[in-house]
């Protein structure tokens, strides 16, 4: 086994997160009843024409820029012709020559633990097909065209991946980029992110690559690893037995953990690609690209380095923060405003604010004051002005409240107190500070602050105004 | 009243003055169809019920004085324009049961103006043909001579208007399918600039060439329809925002003829041209010269390349456009398919006619790996050369005048066994589609009681002047008023 080396190229299909389909106005939402989201265009009714949903262009450009790819100023759609029942027109609108993104790369952690650059050949736009649902029971096939026309970005890597683990690393990296940029929801179970793997083996040192097989439609990181590993083993066994690997398309059977032949090259389609005469070329001007570039958030890689070196944030914290650009934006502001220890404030953030902004898909535009309110609240807690257990309730209140946070804090600081504890503490302090009591008695009322401070120091989160009242009472009765 | 002879504006006047109601007018033309069309077979569907309903609505609008010039006037649509709720067959068995759930943009726009659709006209199957002999619903006969073809593929529309069964009709022109039947039937037909009329809902043959337009009795009638159907449509990304929305503005030739130079391409007047047609062409040129138009000999040397380039490009696009007819979703499905492959094979074998299958095979071959560069890419290069040669011609002259077809209407069955000869009957028309230019065919004379047509070709979006030139000719001549004798009575 050690004599062999593996060469893998991945084609990842990313469903772009748009409200409507790539060439029609029907919804792309997942899970509705069959064929409820298929318009005349999606069904391929005679005479219908595709009309490009422009929002897919922006998303493709964002991806292209994020991987340092080049954006084609002129890009064209082509028809890929093949017959399949869930492909209503019996051609798929895709791109062949002049795809929207050419070139680019990402960096993954390679097998030897060192960083490895994987080049990306291209990324192109296309429409998804529908689904065929086979029923053994009724001996028939049902067709659901809800998915037909969902926009896809197909990302094609160079054959530079050397193992199943590297393939998983690569796939995870692409997944994190497209979900981070919010151009895809990343939901692999619903098929929003799926991949085909081209796998071949050859002897170490051989320049000539072995015959490749294509593993189709794998929709989890785990299965990518298993399918590729099975396929490598299978190919090595074949060659070691003196046979030849056949170029073919194979399907991974998740239950049996094997790959099965789907069709061989001889049966493969000649797709008869040609430019789609129904669609004009996409022309993208450089100002538009520049604008998208300037709006593009720093990718997790860049941010990670910054948080580590500037703030010493922990792996655990980074794992959460680096998930979404909206988290990063808020965290950046919090770190900027807060005067307390960064690790501490981020821990507060993760335990209190993060669950809420994650759940509500909060964006800073909805309440730009939130980071400041949050920092003031944490300051008040750290200074013992309000009890820690009130934090959750305060977060709920400051969440969409754009007014000053001080009133809210005031309310919570007076909420609960333990009279006996306060009284006992006050009497202890009076007992131990006779000199200050005398000063007070002699008319130096400013000394009152000293007593309040002492109490607050002993009882975290107690309301200062209640303490003040009680101290005056106690001092007067001495 | 001889309603059948009336122009659109005359009909409009009658409706406006309430000399006749739209219901009466509609019944009048339906009666003509019922009495004459058995001779012609120009209609696939006659929709009496819905026509009457639309006519009633039109009458109400007229009584409220909210009508347009076209309100209440009957029209017929070539059977490739999708009509909501009405059978739309495209001349094919494949769609013999297909009822679209929506209207083509062309149909919708005319309906909004209050026009009354009488039905759907016969055509070559999927618009593939030059003689209307490839229709699944039987061939159409030429009203001028029932032994002759009406031309194609809009043969039904041309025959119906020529026999005055309907005042005007829509057609489509991929390689000459409006102009050639107009010329064979003594009518005026306008093939607009590619992109000026929406293709939405028009069943595709060759997407980069197809263009809808009117076939009528005169340039003025065609202009009234073109004014309504033209313009950008958000449902058709290839429709062009540059299309002028201004109505065609007719002028006297005295106002503009002297400023116009018309080119006569020598390749269109070569040996292939019937000498009788040549002499009719020369007669018509004399009429134009008398009005003050100037003429100049020019060359369009690439024209001989147009037929092969056209048949590669059109067939390639068709092979893909027609893939959707597979028996799965709509249209014809073979009986008891054994499996998926059987369903595909038999549905398409039984549902498509011979000419359609031939072009699908030519197209699929031209796009196959190994042949793509040699055929498809080369055809695209020729297309570019043809376009360039027109552009350089338009540096020399303002418009081009040329025969529409090398012959008058030929006999039914005469060319069906010889594909090349049939294809060559489009020799003067296809290059205009490849270049995407506008052109109108007008009747300029008769040979042996068969009409002769000439086309006026202009630069992009020059429909206004093309129709003006056509109209100026029609103000000086009566060829467009000739009616085939058998149909020239109430």
CATH number of the domain to which B459 belongs: 3.90.1300.10
Shortest CA gap A84–chain B (Å): 9
For a pLDDT cut of 70, what percent of chain A falls above it?
97
My answer on whether A345 and A317 are in the same domain is yes
Task: Report yes or no on B274 lying in a domain.
Answer: no
pLDDT at B458: 98
Whether B177 is catalytic is yes
Q: What is the mean pLDDT of chain B?
A: 97
Lowest mean pLDDT among A67-76, A342-351, B191-200: A342-351
Where among A413, A432, A450 does a domain terminate? Answer: A413
Asked whether B209 and B433 are in contact (CB, 8 A), the reply is: yes
Residue B237 pLDDT more than 70? yes
Q: Are A205 and A88 in the same domain?
A: yes
Q: What is the pLDDT of residue A417?
A: 62
What confidence tens digit (pLDDT) does each residue in B22-68 have?
A: 999 999 999 999 999 999 999 999 999 999 999 999 999 999 999 99
A45 to B330: CB separation less than 8 angstroms, yes or no: yes
Q: Is position B111 within any domain?
A: yes
Tell me the torsion sign for CA atoms A182, A186, A192, A197: positive
- Residue B262 in any domain: the answer is no
Residues A433 and A382 placed together within one structural domain of the fold = no
The CA-to-CA distance between both ends of chain B, in Å, stands at 9
Same domain? A144 vs A199: yes
Q: What is the pLDDT of residue A87?
A: 96
pLDDT digits (tens, 9 = 90+) for B166-197: 999 999 999 999 999 999 999 999 999 999 99
CA of B42: how far to CAs of A2, B138, B175, in Å? 77, 9, 21
Which of B80, B101, B329 has its CB closest to that of A88? Answer: B329
Residues A393 and A423 in one domain: no
| Contact flag A90-B324 (C-beta cutoff 8 Å) | yes
Answer yes or no: is pLDDT of A278 > 80. yes
A306: which residues sit within 8 A by CB, 6+ positions away?
A: A298
Q: What is the pLDDT of residue A1?
A: 57
| Whole-number pLDDT of residue A459 | 78
In this structure, is residue A122 part of a structural domain? yes
Query: Does A292 fall in a domain?
Result: no
Tell whether the torsion through CA atoms of B257, B258, B260 and B262 is positive or negative: positive
**Number of domains observed in the structure of chain A:** 3
Residues contacting B424, CB < 8 A, separation 6+: B272, B307, B406
Same-domain status, A270 and A326: no
Kindly write down the DSSP assignment for every residue of A122-185, as one continuous string: EEEEEE---EEEEETTTTEEEEE-SSTT-EEEEEEE-S-B-SHHHHHHHHHHHHHHHHHTTS--
For residue A283, the chain B residues in CB contact (below 8 A) are: none
Question: Cβ A85–B238 below 8 Å, yes or no?
Answer: no
In a domain, A291, yes or no: no
- Residue B71, in any domain of the structure: yes
Do B163 and B141 meet the contact criterion of CB atoms below 8 Å apart?
no
* Alpha-carbon distances, residue A447 vs A421, A441, B338, B356, B436 (angstroms): 22, 10, 100, 104, 95
CA-nearest of A401, A311, A298, A404 to A349 is: A311
The pLDDT of residue A416 is 56
Distance of CA B218 to the CA centre of its chain: 14
Q: How far is A289 from chain B (nearest CA, A)?
A: 23
Domain ranges, residue B34: 3-257+404-487
Using one digit for the tens of pLDDT, what is the confidence trace for A19-54?
A: 999 999 999 998 899 999 999 999 999 999 999 999
Domain boundary among A413, A434, A452: A413
Dist CA B168 CA B73 (whole Å): 9
Q: Report the alpha-carbon distance of residue A55 to residue A25 in Å, rounded.
A: 12
Write out the residue range of the structural domain in which residue A229 sits.
4-286
Domain assignment present for B204: yes
pLDDT attached to residue B227 = 98
Examine residue A456 and state whether it is found in any structural domain, yes or no.
yes
| A91 and A133 assigned to the same domain | yes
Distance from CA of B201 to the nearest CA of A (A): 4
Across residues B217-246, what is the average pLDDT?
Answer: 97
Single out the residue in A286, A320, A348 at which a domain terminates: A286
Selected for mutation to probe chain B from A40, A57, A277 (highest B CB count within 10 Å) is A277
Which is nearest to A78 in space by CA: A170, A154, A178, A188?
A154
> Residues A47, A163: one domain?
yes
DSSP alpha helices (H): ranges in A298-361? 300-311, 315-321, 325-337, 342-348, 354-360
How far off is chain A from B319, nearest CA to CA, in Å? 9
Closest CA to A408 of A368, A380, A382: A380
- Tell me how far apart the alpha carbons of residues B416 and A196 are, in angstroms, rounded to a whole number: 50
Query: What total number of domains does chain B contain?
Result: 1
Pairwise CB contact (< 8 Å): A47 & B82: yes
Burial readout A299-320 (b: 16 or more C-beta within 10 A, e: otherwise)? bbeebbeebeeebebeeebbeb
For residues A156 and A257, membership in a common domain is answered with yes
Residues B258 and B256: their CA atoms lie apart, in Å, by: 6
| CATH code at position A448 | 1.10.10.410
Q: Is B153 a catalytic residue?
A: yes
Residue B119 lies in a domain: yes
Same-domain check for residues A393 and A271: no
Domain annotation covers residue A159: yes
- On whether residue B16 sits in a domain, the answer given is yes
Contact A49 B236 (CB under 8 A): yes
Residues A311 and A353 in one domain: yes
The percentage of chain B sitting over the pLDDT mark of 90, rounded to a whole number, equals: 96
Catalytic residue among B153, B239, B306, B319: B153
Do B55 and B22 meet the contact criterion of CB atoms below 8 Å apart?
yes
Band (A2; pLDDT cuts 50, 70, 90): confident
Q: How many CB pairs under 8 A join A and B?
A: 96
Contact B200 A143 (CB under 8 A): no
pLDDT in tens, A136-194: 888 888 999 999 999 999 999 999 999 999 999 999 999 999 999 999 999 999 999 99
Chain B interface, best mutation among A25, A43, A44, A46, by max B CB count within 10 A: A46
Tokens found for residue A312: 């010493």
* Together in a domain, A164 and A253: yes
Cis before A4? omega within 30: no
């Amino acid at each position: 086994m050690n004599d062999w080396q593996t060469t893998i190229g991945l084609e990842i299909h990313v469903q772009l997160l748009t409200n409507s389909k790539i060439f029609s106005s029907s919804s792309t939402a997942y899970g509705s009843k069959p064929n409820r989201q298929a318009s005349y265009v999606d069904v391929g009714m005679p005479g219908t024409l595709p009309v490009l949903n422009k929002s897919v262009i922006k998303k493709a450009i964002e991806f292209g820029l994020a991987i340092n790819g080049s954006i084609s100023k002129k890009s064209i759609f082509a028809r890929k012709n093949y017959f399949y029942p869930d492909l209503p027109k019996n051609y798929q609108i895709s791109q062949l020559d002049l795809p929207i993104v050419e070139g680019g790369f990402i960096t993954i952690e390679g097998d030897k633990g060192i960083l490895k650059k994987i080049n990306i050949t291209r990324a192109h736009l296309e429409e998804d097909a529908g689904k065929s649902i086979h029923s053994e029971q009724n001996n028939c096939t049902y067709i659901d065209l809800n998915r037909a026309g969902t926009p896809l970005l197909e990302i094609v890597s160079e054959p530079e991946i050397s193992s199943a683990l590297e393939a998983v690393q690569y796939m995870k990296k692409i997944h994190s980029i497209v979900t981070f940029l919010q151009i895809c929801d990343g939901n692999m179970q619903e098929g929003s992110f799926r991949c085909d793997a081209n796998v071949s083996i050859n002897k170490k040192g051989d320049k000539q690559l072995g015959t490749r097989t294509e593993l189709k439609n794998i929709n989890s990181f785990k299965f990518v690893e298993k399918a590729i590993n099975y396929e490598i083993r299978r190919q090595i066994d074949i060659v070691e037995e003196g046979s030849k690997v056949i170029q073919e398309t194979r399907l991974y059977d998740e239950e049996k953990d094997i790959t099965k032949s789907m069709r061989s090259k001889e049966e493969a389609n000649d797709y008869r690609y040609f430019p789609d005469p129904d669609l004009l070329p996409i022309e993208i001007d450089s100002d538009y690209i520049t604008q998208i570039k300037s709006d593009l958030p720093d990718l997790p890689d860049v941010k990670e380095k910054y948080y580590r070196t500037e703030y010493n944030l922990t792996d655990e914290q980074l794992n959460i923060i680096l998930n979404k650009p909206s988290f990063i934006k808020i965290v950046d502001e919090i770190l900027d405003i807060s005067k307390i220890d960064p690790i501490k404030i981020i821990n507060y953030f993760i335990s209190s604010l993060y669950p809420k902004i994650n759940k509500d898909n909060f964006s800073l535009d909805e309440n730009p004051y939130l980071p400041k309110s949050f920092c003031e609240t944490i300051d008040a807690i750290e200074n013992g002005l309000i009890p820690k257990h009130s934090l959750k309730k305060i977060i709920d209140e400051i969440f969409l409240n754009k007014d000053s946070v001080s009133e809210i804090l005031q309310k919570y600081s007076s909420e609960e107190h333990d009279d006996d504890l306060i009284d006992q503490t006050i009497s202890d302090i009076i007992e131990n500070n006779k000199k200050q009591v005398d000063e007070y008695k002699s008319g130096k009322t400013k000394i009152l602050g000293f007593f309040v401070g002492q109490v607050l120091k002993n009882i975290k989160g107690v309301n200062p105004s209640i303490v003040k009242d009680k101290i005056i009472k106690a001092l007067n009765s001495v | 009243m001889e309603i059948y002879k009336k122009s659109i504006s005359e009909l409009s006047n009658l409706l406006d003055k309430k000399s006749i109601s739209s219901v009466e007018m509609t019944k009048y033309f339906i009666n003509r169809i019922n009495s004459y069309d058995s001779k012609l077979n120009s209609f696939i569907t006659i929709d009496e019920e819905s026509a009457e309903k639309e006519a009633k609505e039109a009458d109400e609008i007229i009584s409220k004085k909210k009508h347009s010039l076209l309100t209440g006037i009957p029209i017929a649509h070539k059977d490739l324009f999708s009509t909501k709720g009405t059978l739309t067959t495209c001349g094919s068995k494949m769609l013999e049961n297909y009822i679209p759930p929506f209207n083509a943009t062309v149909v919708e726009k005319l309906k909004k103006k209050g026009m009354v659709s009488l039905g759907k006209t016969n055509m070559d199957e999927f618009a593939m043909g030059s003689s209307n002999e490839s229709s699944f619903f039987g061939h159409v006969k030429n009203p001028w001579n029932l032994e002759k073809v009406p031309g194609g593929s809009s043969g039904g529309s041309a025959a119906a208007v020529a026999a005055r069964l309907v005042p005007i009709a829509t057609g489509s022109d991929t390689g000459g399918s409006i102009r050639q039947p107009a010329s064979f039937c003594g009518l005026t037909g306008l093939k607009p600039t590619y992109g000026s009329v929406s293709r939405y809902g028009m069943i595709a043959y060759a997407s980069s060439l197809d263009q809808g337009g009117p076939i009528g009795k005169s340039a003025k009638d065609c202009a009234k329809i073109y004014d309504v159907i033209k313009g950008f449509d958000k449902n058709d990304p290839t429709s062009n925002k540059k299309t002028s929305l201004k109505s065609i503005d007719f002028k006297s030739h005295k106002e503009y003829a002297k400023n116009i130079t018309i080119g006569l391409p020598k390749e269109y007047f070569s040996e292939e041209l019937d000498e009788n047609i040549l002499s009719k062409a020369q007669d018509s040129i004399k009429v134009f010269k008398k009005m003050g138009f100037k003429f100049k000999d020019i060359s369009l040397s690439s024209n001989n390349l147009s037929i092969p380039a056209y048949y590669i490009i059109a067939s390639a696009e068709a092979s893909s456009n027609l893939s959707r007819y597979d028996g799965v979703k709509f249209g014809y499905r073979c009986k008891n398919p054994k499996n998926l492959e059987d369903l595909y094979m038999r549905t398409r074998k039984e549902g498509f006619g011979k000419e359609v299958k031939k072009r699908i095979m030519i197209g699929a071959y031209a796009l196959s790996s190994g042949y793509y560069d040699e055929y498809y890419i080369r055809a695209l290069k020729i297309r570019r050369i043809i376009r360039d040669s027109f552009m350089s011609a338009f540096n020399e002259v303002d418009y081009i005048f040329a025969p529409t077809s090398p012959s008058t209407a030929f006999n039914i069955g005469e060319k069906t066994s010889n594909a090349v000869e049939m294809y060559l009957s489009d020799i003067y028309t296809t290059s205009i589609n490849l270049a995407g230019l506008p052109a109108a065919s007008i009747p300029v004379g008769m040979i042996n009681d068969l009409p002769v047509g000439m086309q006026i070709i202009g630069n992009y979006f020059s429909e206004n002047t093309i129709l003006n030139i056509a109209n100026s000719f029609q103000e000086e001549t009566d060829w467009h008023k000739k009616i085939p004798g058998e149909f020239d009575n109430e």
